[in-house]
């Protein structure tokens, strides 16, 4: 049953497939053979849809994992792959993965950015490839993996893939603030279900302050208490963090449309840090004077 847990963490709803059947969402349709388990889940706030599948509905001998994720926010494929590679905890398939170099490739008729990986899943060694590409103003990530020493059956599924005529929804929100609020709400939901922890910091939440154009991101030092910080240490951390946060913000804006629009509109980006007991430590603000 612990293998089923992998996909619970992926925020999916299991549907066992007892006959060959075509499954679809807004991004893709695919035929999955008898005996495979399919999980299909969307997040309307983020405009993200996940379809994943593995080969054994009884969890007895899983040797193939496949996954297709559609993102309704345009990103550069290389940025999407880099994010997946760097924030491993956001994807259990990548949590213990080592990655090769990124390269240009093709996948089911699409020109893609790709990277090969090797990972451990339930003490078994798996190899695979992740592919990212743009389609109709959206971004798609496809991942295939197989247990070392077995044959991958995923090609028979990939050959049935039909990509939808994806078009980004441009008329859902009455204002940009409403769009940001929806994006924040969906992101916070995802962070609760699949926490992102990197270098001792957990990304806790993001929200738009109600009466100001300020977007606040909260991070937690998961292993540190407020008593271990003094004023000099906090000031030094803030000085070290500012250029790092600024570089991350600028890189994100080059690859994620919503961040670029936020910067164009002159939003302030606030980064609040708390200790492991949720006690406030300090904040860093990046204003238009910093990033423009």
Highest mean pLDDT: which of 41-45, 132-136, 177-181? 177-181
pLDDT tens sequence across 237-248: 999 999 999 988
Q: Residue 270 in contact with residue 284, Cβ under 8 Å?
A: yes
Give the mean pLDDT of 91-104.
85
46-50, 87-91, 238-242: the lowest-pLDDT one: 87-91
pLDDT at position 205 is 93
pLDDT tens sequence across 142-198: 999 988 888 788 888 888 888 876 655 544 678 889 889 988 888 888 788 777 787
pLDDT at position 277 is 94
95-109, 127-141, 199-213: the lowest-pLDDT one: 127-141
pLDDT tens sequence across 244-292: 999 888 888 877 778 888 999 999 999 999 999 999 999 999 999 999 8
Class of domain 176-291: alpha beta
What is the longest distance spanned by two Cα atoms in the chain? 64
> Strands 201-208, 214-221: parallel, antiparallel or unpaired by DSSP?
antiparallel
Q: Where are the domains of the chain?
A: 2-163, 176-291
**CATH number, domain 2-163, options 3.55.50.30, 3.30.70.20, 3.40.1030.10, 3.40.1000.10:** 3.40.1000.10
């Amino acid at each position: 049953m612990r293998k089923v847990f992998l996909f619970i963490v992926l925020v999916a709803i299991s549907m066992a497939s007892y006959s060959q059947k075509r499954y679809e969402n807004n991004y893709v349709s695919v035929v999955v053979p008898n005996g495979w388990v399919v999980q299909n889940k969307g997040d309307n706030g983020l405009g993200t849809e996940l379809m994943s599948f593995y080969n054994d509905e009884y969890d007895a001998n899983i040797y193939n994992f496949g996954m297709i994720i559609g993102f309704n926010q345009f990103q550069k494929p290389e940025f999407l792959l880099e994010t997946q590679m760097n924030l491993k905890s956001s994807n259990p398939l990548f949590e213990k993965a080592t990655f090769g170099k990124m390269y240009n490739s093709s996948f089911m008729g699409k020109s893609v950015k790709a990277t090969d990986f090797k990972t451990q899943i339930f003490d078994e060694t798996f190899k695979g490839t992740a592919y990212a590409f743009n389609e109709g103003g959206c971004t798609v990530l496809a991942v295939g993996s197989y247990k070392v020493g077995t044959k991958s059956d995923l090609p028979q599924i990939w050959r049935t893939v039909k990509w939808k005529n994806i078009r980004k929804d441009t008329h859902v929100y009455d204002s940009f603030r409403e769009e940001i609020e929806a994006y924040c709400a969906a992101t916070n939901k995802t962070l609760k279900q699949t926490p992102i922890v990197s270098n001792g910091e957990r990304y806790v939440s993001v929200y738009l302050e109600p009466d100001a154009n300020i977007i606040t991101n909260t991070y937690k030092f998961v292993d540190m208490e407020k008593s271990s910080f003094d004023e000099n240490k906090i000031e030094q951390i803030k000085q070290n963090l500012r250029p790092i946060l600024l570089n991350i913000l600028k890189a994100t804006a080059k690859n994620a449309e919503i961040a670029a629009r936020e910067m164009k509109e002159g939003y302030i980006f606030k980064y609040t840090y708390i200790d492991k007991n949720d006690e406030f430590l300090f904040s860093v603000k990046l204003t238009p004077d910093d990033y423009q």
